[in-house]
Structure 1
């Protein structure tokens, strides 16, 4: 329940969603058709996605999100028009929720993940519908989705490199945090600790955070294609900054204070939009980024050998994937929650389905925490909704204004803690229901509370019943990848850096593979550690692999960055 600092770009999805929702809401109000607001909201809420991606990648991703939203809405509306069996509709909604969960996890779409898609689709399954109306309602959703696409792409006109600059700034800030951590924070082995290479927990955490931030920033830059000389020059400047952030993983601690101050100043300049600072790199670092043979710049590319794009998504969903048990949990939990809601006579079983779907996280421990957060947030949200009932009854414009305010509040609060965001999400969801079908306030609030408790309780029970023993298998796969990447790194370190761009690029690829493997290993360990009924984790092997891997990674970074001249 502890509150955290808000995410640095929380205002971007918040403002985008408010703008994308306000325009169609006001248009529908003007023509007296607020009963259609669910369909336009389906497309407009796509504006919450992909704000961490560069604009070219954001355009592609948002297009897929809008198409996926409209397709799910179409399936839900078609089912609602063909059958009136509530029990059957609960099954369909639960299967849709499972598909949303697995696909969003496999694509690593990021916040808000599957929740918005499931909320819209589950609601649509229970909206009275005629088959002939479905094309119009899908067209409304598609039009609002196109508007959301335009809203999310509009900032590119002013700051075309904004997402890349933020990603690099985060990497610089993580590097500063590592440099300011106690002995060993800059690649120096702490004295008097056994076995060699062992680090204090705070140092190990700071090192993993820095490696992960650098890894994410490189993947962000890999998504950018520099089509003009000006864009190529700007991309080169960001890459040079990121190389300096990465060099912290192998730095000599004697210059840690000065380097931390320098990197922190560069991060602030990136966030403020000022011109990129001039960064001096070592010869090997420059050779890795520049094709010296013909003096034509070649942007750094990701290390070869790993599937990307659609192939990577399909690989994560292949038989034996740890995502499949999570999908089974969602399907079973949502079905049982919906049927349980029907059994106690609640008129909105889709709320129980959405609640169950929302609590499923990467493991049982995180799901338990999310269930507590969801339950508390919904209770407080219902109390807030009750207090604001007089305002809701002032008219349609007042309802629209409240819905937009709740949407903004949800995005402002949810990154601080999920329960705080749920306080705003709950009344907003109730308002969407009110636009299409007015119900007595007491009935609406009571039903929502019963469905919340039912969804959370049944969902948690299914976390225990449907185990994910494949989570430990992911650790074995990650250990194998780290071992292979470490062996390659050690061969390069033993041979020394080959002269020229080819040798530097090969060293860079080895560093990329090792850094990515270490990040993936830590993620796999954290997921498996939160699952119950698992075989014992190979903790000694994990600790050894991480210690040796980070040591080899620091060696590769030193090989590329030493000496690092002062800027």
Structure 2
């Protein structure tokens, strides 16, 4: 089949500003505090040459802010260990060889690993960028073998500080992350209700997009809520109220009348959902949410689902759960469900499954490795003294497809240029002393997190001075040399990286759509069987019904993500647009039926 020709690359939308993410201040303030503690300590000790190593651990404070605190406490140590391991590899290599060409290759391979692992774990922002920036820089820091243990220990210690800083808000708002997730779901559901017609007829063009956004937000919110432990009675009561809110939000996916009382009450229901979202964000007591009989039945089914999941998970810990416990599992791979069925891979096994041979992440890793190596070598050939900047630039532009990578390359180049101009303008202040440098670095870090959610190029305006300041703490290169090298490396890294992105095509992007369509068809068939099998009395199939619904929602989200990735990839075979549209329409209809008809087991009725 003939491949699709390249699409026109967007420019205007690439630099357009968006609304900032609602919780941008949380990682921003956490990073500033986690960086300020070791920075000021090193200033007092007169050892600012160690700031790169302490920054490695402190920068981990940027991660996992979307997770409830119990899950965050488990996730952040893995981020810190990944950062420390990468730093150890880089420093060890730097202490054993002085070959710049070899160090570029090693830094590029580490960057590829960062990209694939971060995508496989779905760790979220800032993804692989911070890990690659620190590790690539460390590859080119002069090092002796005897210094490596101390420097790694400094990173591990500041990583512990970052963990404490990220966990500290739990003392004030212990339910903050799950409340934010629920508020996002309520807001998305309100948007869906406002976009859909009051009565029958064709849906407006934006409704399908709003439906997908609502399904994703509700799915993410359920996943966050199910990560909250309920050992204490107070926590159980709070989680139960959040579940009632999510049931009300989820009803927007399935009910023409979400309230069950007024035939034209969609606008009023949207206003109620928005009001509850504001209460959640404002920290006010969780509202008492009335449910219709069908919604109350669904909540009872969810309670049975979570109870069964906890029971079978505990049994699995004793070695009694097998693959057969996963209802309707076709063995085609793990899905990210809001509450995974027993027997599906979890943790490290799930990450390994996403990186198995045939994974769509492998071509992305090959792109990163090839692009970073060639960018670093090109920088060396030009005579730039900091080839790791070219490596980091190339690694940073690789996104899910060619179109997104082009956008990131343009954003990175524009942001770095403006950041270099800003750094140059502030040189008189920077030269006043180390305290001014630390203050500026912290201010730029805050600004980077505030602006990067509006657009990557705007955040890069602040990221560039931070990188230059970190370099200034460890060396004494003239400012003109730093600025010139940074600009050359940015252009080289972006150009070479983008060229490799175009040449190393991801032919598996379209194949992923076929797999997603097959999974969706299987999930729909399982849903139809579940709906048809609800009549026999005494059969407690509520947990399986819940997992069937979750699997169908996950398949719809997975299909939309696969289509978005393949649509921006070059030299792909034509996408089956009609088949995709029909599959999504049918899938959403079946999901709506499941949402409406999911109820308690017949025996308990």
Normalization by structure 1: what TM-score?
0.94
Match of 2:277 in 1: 267
- Give the whole-Å Cα distance in 2 for the aligned partners of 1:309 and 1:416: 32
Per-residue deviation, residues 438-476 of structure 1 (Å, max 9, x unmatched): 111111100000000000000000011111101112111
- Give the whole-Å Cα distance in 2 for the aligned partners of 1:460 and 1:498: 59
Match of 1:52 in 2: 66
1:22 is aligned to 2:33:
no
Match of 1:285 in 2: 298
Distance apart, 1:312 and its partner CA: 1.4
- Give the whole-Å Cα distance in 1 for the aligned partners of 2:184 and 2:343: 27
1:528 is aligned to 2:566:
yes
Instruction: Could you tell me which runs of 5 or more consecutive residues in structure 2 were left unpaired when the two chains were aligned.
Output: 1-14, 258-263, 314-337, 601-605
- Give the whole-Å Cα distance in 1 for the aligned partners of 2:536 and 2:27: 46
- Give the whole-Å Cα distance in 2 for the aligned partners of 1:169 and 1:473: 35
Match of 1:242 in 2: 246
Match of 1:393 in 2: 431
Distance apart, 1:304 and its partner CA: 4.4
Match of 2:9 in 1: none
Match of 2:530 in 1: 492
Match of 2:351 in 1: 313
Note closer, same or farther for the CA distance 1:25–1:501 as it changes in structure 2 (3 Å cut).
Answer: farther
- Give the whole-Å Cα distance in 1 for the aligned partners of 2:479 and 2:44: 25
Note closer, same or farther for the CA distance 1:497–1:250 as it changes in structure 2 (3 Å cut).
Answer: farther
- Give the whole-Å Cα distance in 2 for the aligned partners of 1:49 and 1:268: 25
Match of 1:411 in 2: 449
Q: 2:392 aligns with which of 354, 357, 373?
A: 354
1:433 is aligned to 2:471:
yes
Distance apart, 1:480 and its partner CA: 1.3
Instruction: Please state whether the residue corresponding to 2:540 is helix, strand or coil.
Output: helix
- Give the whole-Å Cα distance in 1 for the aligned partners of 2:48 and 2:340: 48
Per-residue deviation, residues 190-219 of structure 1 (Å, max 9, x unmatched): 24xxxxxxx433010000000010011111
Instruction: Please state whether the residue corresponding to 1:545 is helix, strand or coil.
Output: helix
Map residues 109-128 of structure 1 onto 2, 5 A cutoff: 109-128=123-142
1:216 is aligned to 2:192:
no
Distance apart, 1:499 and its partner CA: 7.0
| Contact kept in structure 2, 1:498 and 1:504, CA below 8 Å | no
Distance apart, 1:506 and its partner CA: 3.3
- Give the whole-Å Cα distance in 1 for the aligned partners of 2:201 and 2:204: 9
1:455 is aligned to 2:493:
yes
- Give the whole-Å Cα distance in 2 for the aligned partners of 1:118 and 1:360: 12
Distance apart, 1:561 and its partner CA: 7.8
Match of 2:320 in 1: none
Match of 2:419 in 1: 381
Match of 1:565 in 2: none
Map residues 16-415 of structure 1 onto 2, 5 A cutoff: 16-183=30-197, 189-191=200-202, 199-253=203-257, 254-281=264-291, 282=293, 283-291=296-304, 301-304=339-342, 306-415=344-453
| Contact kept in structure 1, 2:197 and 2:204, CA below 8 Å | no
Distance apart, 1:252 and its partner CA: 2.0
C-alpha RMSD of matched pairs (Å): 2.0
Note closer, same or farther for the CA distance 1:301–1:424 as it changes in structure 2 (3 Å cut).
Answer: closer
Out of 60-69 and 229-238, give the one that drifted further: 229-238
Note closer, same or farther for the CA distance 1:420–1:533 as it changes in structure 2 (3 Å cut).
Answer: same
Instruction: Could you tell me which runs of 5 or more consecutive residues in structure 1 were left unpaired when the two chains were aligned.
Output: 192-198, 563-567
- Give the whole-Å Cα distance in 2 for the aligned partners of 1:242 and 1:336: 49
- Give the whole-Å Cα distance in 1 for the aligned partners of 2:540 and 2:436: 64
Distance apart, 1:509 and its partner CA: 2.0
| Contact kept in structure 2, 1:14 and 1:407, CA below 8 Å | yes
- Give the whole-Å Cα distance in 2 for the aligned partners of 1:101 and 1:472: 21
Note closer, same or farther for the CA distance 1:366–1:291 as it changes in structure 2 (3 Å cut).
Answer: closer
Match of 1:194 in 2: none
| Contact kept in structure 2, 1:18 and 1:404, CA below 8 Å | yes
- Give the whole-Å Cα distance in 1 for the aligned partners of 2:133 and 2:375: 15
- Give the whole-Å Cα distance in 1 for the aligned partners of 2:161 and 2:538: 49
Map residues 3-18 of structure 1 onto 2, 5 A cutoff: 3-18=17-32
Aligned residues: 550
- Give the whole-Å Cα distance in 2 for the aligned partners of 1:88 and 1:252: 62
Distance apart, 1:505 and its partner CA: 3.5
- Give the whole-Å Cα distance in 1 for the aligned partners of 2:599 and 2:286: 20
Distance apart, 1:285 and its partner CA: 1.5
- Give the whole-Å Cα distance in 2 for the aligned partners of 1:142 and 1:225: 28
Per-residue deviation, residues 56-99 of structure 1 (Å, max 9, x unmatched): 11111110000110110011001001100000000000000000
- Give the whole-Å Cα distance in 2 for the aligned partners of 1:410 and 1:44: 16
Match of 2:321 in 1: none
Per-residue deviation, residues 497-529 of structure 1 (Å, max 9, x unmatched): 777893444332221111111001000110011
| Contact kept in structure 2, 1:87 and 1:339, CA below 8 Å | yes
| Contact kept in structure 2, 1:285 and 1:504, CA below 8 Å | no
- Give the whole-Å Cα distance in 1 for the aligned partners of 2:400 and 2:130: 18
Distance apart, 1:290 and its partner CA: 3.5
Distance apart, 1:353 and its partner CA: 0.2
Normalization by structure 2: what TM-score?
0.88
